[in-house]
Amino acid sequence: MGKPCRSRELRYMDKFPLTTKRLVLGHVSVCQGCCCGNTANGKPAVPVEWLKKEWRARGLLKRIQLTISGCLGPCDIPNVVTISNESGTQWLGGITEFRQYRALLEWAIASRDAGELLPLPSQFREQCLHPFCNSDSGGGLFLFSGNRVIS
């Protein structure tokens, strides 16, 4: 009974392959859910409007997708950000200061100009978040630049 469904599914995928014309270098999701950025509950702000304005003004939108997301899950850590590309996702937490968002913007501009996601600035090394059971402690997907400032 199961096999006919599987072959029907495969035929469907052949006929309607999932492709997009909107290919990007990476995808940055900035959480603004129930906790992140909820200043009414005493949480640190997320500069959402500034991020959206800068992302647009710097011409990043078509190369590095910016999404202001709902809750990403680990609410006990303030201000969660994920950065994804074809290799996977790097989670960051504790992005609570404006200078960190500015550094993310500068990293995104440099990555756009380089045509690939560059190593994250070293200041984010301590912001790595591991939200999954059984994750190793070896860090994320992206190598961090030593003391080099990416701008």
Residues interacting with ligand FES, by CB under 6 A? 31, 33-36, 71-75, 80
If the CB atoms of residues 35 and 120 are measured against ligand FES, the closer one turns out to be 35
Query: Which residue has its beta carbon closest to ligand FES?
Result: 33
If the CB atoms of residues 33 and 119 are measured against ligand FES, the closer one turns out to be 33
117/97 Cα distance (integer angstroms): 22
- The minimum distance between CB 90 and ligand FES, in angstroms, equals 15
**Crossing angle of the two packed helices 48-57 and 98-114, in degrees rounded to 10:** 20
Q: Which residue has the tokens 């991020």?
A: 51
121/145 Cα distance (integer angstroms): 5
- The minimum distance between CB 108 and ligand FES, in angstroms, equals 20
Asked whether the beta carbons of 122 and 107 are under 8 A apart, the reply is no
- The minimum distance between CB 115 and ligand FES, in angstroms, equals 30
